[in-house]
């Protein structure tokens, strides 16, 4: 048991566990909708697109979270305007802004000679440096995320299945789309310190992918994804402590491993049931052919009588 509890005897590891778990819950709520809506590329673009804002904020000495939020907002607004007023598809608009913002961030970093350490923290995260102020910020982001997700749950569901039906039902699909993009922005900005701009997409997608095979209900999927995300944070921190690996990368890799393991475990019962049903059908076919051969009249073998279904009480 010392293997599990010894690392969390220090304050910075406890703060990393709490802050990382808050990030995992935020990413579980948002990531479930990203997977269902097919917005993975947007999440990836947001994560990389906030790099110039973070770089400028770091060089200017202002809170990094403000620069990340400003850059992500510019990214989301630019993609929306270019997709609406231009002749480009949504994915093409995202790709153009994604590359443009990333290139701008690299140019800003290249002009600073003493930016190597800060750039590493931006790209790969520094969950071990989370303090009380970051934990309060993450808690506030989680409250906002949950309130928006609960309030607009019906609108999000209708938007996923049919935008026209959502419009007819008065659920305002355009507002729902804007809010969904806003949640993606909030999740990316809130989680970048834990896993970094390059790895935040793993915490967004992997727990939701791991939870999807076990249920078809969205709230339950979000709950399972939150548990898997928190478990990934725990496993990643333990690996970082005992193996000396980067904490953010360990958390992202643990989340991916959970997704792979969940998919593999879920396939086992399906393969067994498919094998049993195939064996039954094979035995039934063999029995039927034997009956037809032994029937002296050469007529079709008699079929077992089927009972009428019971009426529901």
- Whichever domain contains 28, its CATH number is 1.10.3470.10
Q: Is 295 inside a domain boundary?
A: no
**Greater pLDDT, 308 or 70:** 70
Q: Is 293 inside a domain boundary?
A: no
Residues of the domain holding 48: 2-267
Q: Is 297 inside a domain boundary?
A: no
Query: Which of the residue ranges 97-101, 122-126, 259-263 has the most confident prediction, judged by mean pLDDT?
Result: 259-263
* Gap between the Cα atoms of 26 and 14, Å rounded: 19
Q: Is 254 inside a domain boundary?
A: yes
Q: Is 79 inside a domain boundary?
A: yes
pLDDT at 30 over 90: yes
Q: Is 283 inside a domain boundary?
A: no
Q: Is 45 inside a domain boundary?
A: yes
Write out pLDDT tens, residues 131-165: 898 899 899 999 999 999 999 998 888 888 777 77
CB 54 within 8 A of CB 178: no
Query: Given this model, what pLDDT does residue 14 score?
Result: 92
Write out pLDDT tens, residues 167-182: 777 778 788 888 888 8
Query: Which of the residue ranges 4-13, 75-84, 265-274 has the most confident prediction, judged by mean pLDDT?
Result: 4-13
Query: Given this model, what pLDDT does residue 124 score?
Result: 74
DSSP letter string, 74-104: HHHHHHHHHHHHSSS-HHHHHHHHHHHHHHH
Q: Is 27 inside a domain boundary?
A: yes
Among residues of the chain, what percentage have pLDDT more than 90?
27
Residue written as token pair 């970082």: 240
Claim: this prediction has a pTM higher than 0.95? no
What are the CA-CA distances from residue 234 to residues 19, 124, 268 (Å)?
11, 17, 26
The residues, ordered by sequence, that sit 6+ positions from 56 with a Cβ below 8 Å of its Cβ are 67, 108
Number of domains in the chain: 1
Is the torsion defined by CA of 231, 189, 182, 40 positive or negative? negative
Query: Given this model, what pLDDT does residue 272 score?
Result: 62
């Amino acid at each position: 048991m010392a293997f599990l509890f010894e690392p969390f005897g220090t304050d910075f590891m406890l703060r990393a566990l709490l802050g990382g778990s808050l990030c995992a819950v935020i990413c579980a709520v948002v990531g479930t909708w990203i997977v269902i809506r097919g917005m993975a590329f947007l999440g990836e673009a947001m994560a990389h697109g906030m790099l110039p804002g973070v770089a400028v904020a770091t060089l200017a000495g202002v809170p990094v979270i403000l620069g990340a939020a400003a850059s992500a907002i510019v990214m989301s607004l630019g993609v929306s305007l270019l997709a609406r007023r231009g002749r480009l598809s949504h994915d093409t608009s995202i790709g153009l802004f994604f590359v443009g913002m990333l290139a701008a961030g690299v140019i800003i970093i290249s002009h600073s000679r003493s930016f190597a350490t800060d750039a590493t923290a931006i790209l790969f995260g520094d969950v071990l440096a989370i303090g009380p102020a970051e934990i309060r910020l993450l808690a506030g982001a989680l409250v906002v995320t949950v309130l928006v997700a609960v309030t607009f749950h019906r609108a999000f569901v209708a938007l996923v299945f049919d935008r026209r039906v959502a419009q007819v039902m008065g659920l305002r699909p355009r507002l729902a789309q804007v809010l969904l993009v806003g949640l993606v922005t909030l999740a990316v900005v809130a989680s970048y310190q834990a896993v970094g701009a390059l790895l935040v997409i793993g915490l967004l997608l992997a727990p939701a992918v791991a939870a999807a095979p076990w249920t078809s209900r969205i709230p339950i999927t979000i709950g399972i994804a939150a548990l898997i995300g928190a478990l990934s944070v725990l496993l990643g921190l333990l690996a970082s402590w005992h193996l000396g690996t980067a904490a953010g990368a360990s958390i992202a890799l643990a989340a991916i491993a959970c997704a792979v393991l969940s998919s593999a475990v879920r396939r086992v019962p399906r393969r067994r049931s498919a094998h049993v049903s195939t064996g039954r059908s094979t035995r039934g076919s063999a029995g039927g052919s034997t009956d037809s051969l032994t029937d002296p009249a050469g007529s079709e073998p008699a079929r077992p009588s089927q009972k009428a279904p019971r009426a529901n009480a």
